[in-house]
Amino acid sequence: MVHMKSNVRLWLVVLLLAGLCPARGQQWVLRSSGVTADLMEVNFGDSLTGVAVGTGGAIVRTTDGGVTWSQVTSGTDHHLHGVAFATPEIVYADGDSGVVLRSGDRGLTWVPVTNAFRFTLWGSAFIDERTGIITGNQGDAVRTTDAGVTWESLKTGSTNILYDVSFATLTSGTIVGRSGEIYHTSNRGDSWVAQDGGTGGLSLFGVTFADSLHGYAVGEFGTIRATSDGGASWVSQASLVIDTLLSVCARSTRCAIAVGGRGQVITTFDGGVNWQRDTTPTSLDLNEVTNAGWNKAVAVGERGVIMTKVFPDGPTAVTGEAGAPEAFALLGNYPNPFNGETMIRFRAPGGSAEVRLDVVDLLGRSVGELYRGAAGAGEHAVPFRASHLASGVYIVRLFGGGAVLTRQILMTK
């Protein structure tokens, strides 16, 4: 919890350019889920608390960043396909026959909130505490704007299964589905516009955005599509695998992890120019991968498999693609808006430079000093943990080279 420097819990994660990667981290480690059900999706409300859902209504949760897991009662035997945190405390799960469950205590207990839909629900994303969208069969998606009290059907223009959804901002979201369909909204789901993914009819199962411009979609036979213009255009990237990729998560604009059939895990550290295979301790299908804070990834899959990977901590200097940058730059944060945690990025010039990074409210009152010290040339990122703060606009300040750079960030609950 970020308040003053003395109780900031930092991981200074380097966003690597040019394919250099101390962020490769440790090996993947198997964890015991306590269930044999296929786990279909996993999500974290903060760096410690996560929930995974699966077949037969299985739900498991962790409160220690994925090291240990315990099963909880869902109250349903329907297969569950999606799970999403609306706040660090409130989490939703969805699945077959239109079931939607809600927990108000970080996934410990669950109650049904709707059975108005009879089609299967898949991926889900919550924009803020009250507004969430879940994808479904036959081109349908459903949305709540009142914290799950009521749900409405959205028409995307598709008639196919829509598997996953990702929101890059409060208004901008992307859905992917069968036959490579991609749909984009710029108004919180009120209307959707088809985008050309260029997959040749291959289905897309997972989508993620690092910011409003940079995103990845993955699917059949190792398909990867990437965008750097918010989805206006999508380009093919070589995954070097032929197994179906079922999920992808972005760690930054340069770094992403994708998982899929037969335990395949591939990672990029250069924006998808190169993808490389990770060694994993399983040959079972991996259905989902997500970030658990800023130094850990968690993947789940068949027969209750769960595995985690820790990335290194500490400040590290790297050189950019075209050599060291000439000046300081405050690059923004991901996600933004954010709920509880976000990663603030900055770039430092050549040589060892002294920097200070802090956050203030609109009255100029400090809410946290995130880093003070030397920063080597290249791009860096520092996590800002702010679940104790009220919703609203805050200002990030970067002091370096005799200048002060500022940028607004938006906290929503």
Which CATH number goes with the domain that contains 34?
2.130.10.10
Percent of the chain's residues with pLDDT above 90: 57
pLDDT digits (tens, 9 = 90+) for 359-394: 988 777 778 888 877 777 777 888 888 877 888 889
Structure tokens that stand for 156 in this block: 């995307």
**338 forms bridges with which residues in the sheet?**
411
The count of domains in the chain is: 2
Burial of 52 (0-12, 13-18, 19+ CB in 10 A): buried
CA atoms of 246 and 163, how far apart (whole Å): 10
Q: What contacts 24+ positions apart, CB below 8 Å, involve 370-374?
A: 370/2, 370/8, 370/10, 370/344, 371/10, 371/12, 371/315, 372/5, 373/315, 374/315
Residue ending a domain, among 284, 310, 336, is 310
- Residues 99 and 87: beta-carbon distance below 8 Å: no
The range of the structural domain enclosing residue 142 comes to: 24-310
Residue ending a domain, among 276, 310, 344, is 310
Edge-to-edge strands, sheet with 392-400: 366-375, 353-360, 392-400, 403-411
pLDDT digits (tens, 9 = 90+) for 256-290: 999 999 999 999 988 899 999 999 999 999 999 99
Higher confidence at residue 321 or residue 393?
Answer: 393
DSSP character at residue 311: P
Lowest mean pLDDT among 107-121, 213-227, 274-288, 297-311: 107-121
Q: Are residues 291 and 354 in the same domain?
A: no
Q: Is residue 324 very low, low, confident or very high in pLDDT (cuts 50, 70, 90)?
A: very low
Q: Are residues 303 and 321 in the same domain?
A: no
Look at residue 18 and tell me whether its pLDDT is greater than 50. Answer: no
- Residues 60 and 42: beta-carbon distance below 8 Å: no
- Is 14 part of any domain? no
Q: Are residues 326 and 276 in the same domain?
A: no
Average pLDDT over residues 220-239: 95
Note if the pTM is more than 0.85.
no
Helix (H, G, I), strand (E, B) or coil at 261: helix
- Is 294 part of any domain? yes
- Is 30 part of any domain? yes
- Is 7 part of any domain? no
Q: Are residues 190 and 105 in the same domain?
A: yes
Label residues 208-235 b or e (16+ Cβ within 10 Å = b): bbbbbebbbbbbbebbbbbbeebbeebe
Q: What is the CATH number of the domain that holds 402?
A: 2.60.40.1930
Residue ending a domain, among 265, 286, 310, is 310
Q: Are residues 72 and 146 in the same domain?
A: yes
Helices and strands in the chain: count of H runs, count of E runs: 0, 36
> What type of residue sits at position 324?
A
Higher confidence at residue 131 or residue 331?
Answer: 131
Look at residue 20 and tell me whether its pLDDT is greater than 50. Answer: no
pLDDT digits (tens, 9 = 90+) for 47-95: 789 999 999 999 999 999 999 999 999 999 999 999 999 888 899 999 9
- Is 288 part of any domain? yes
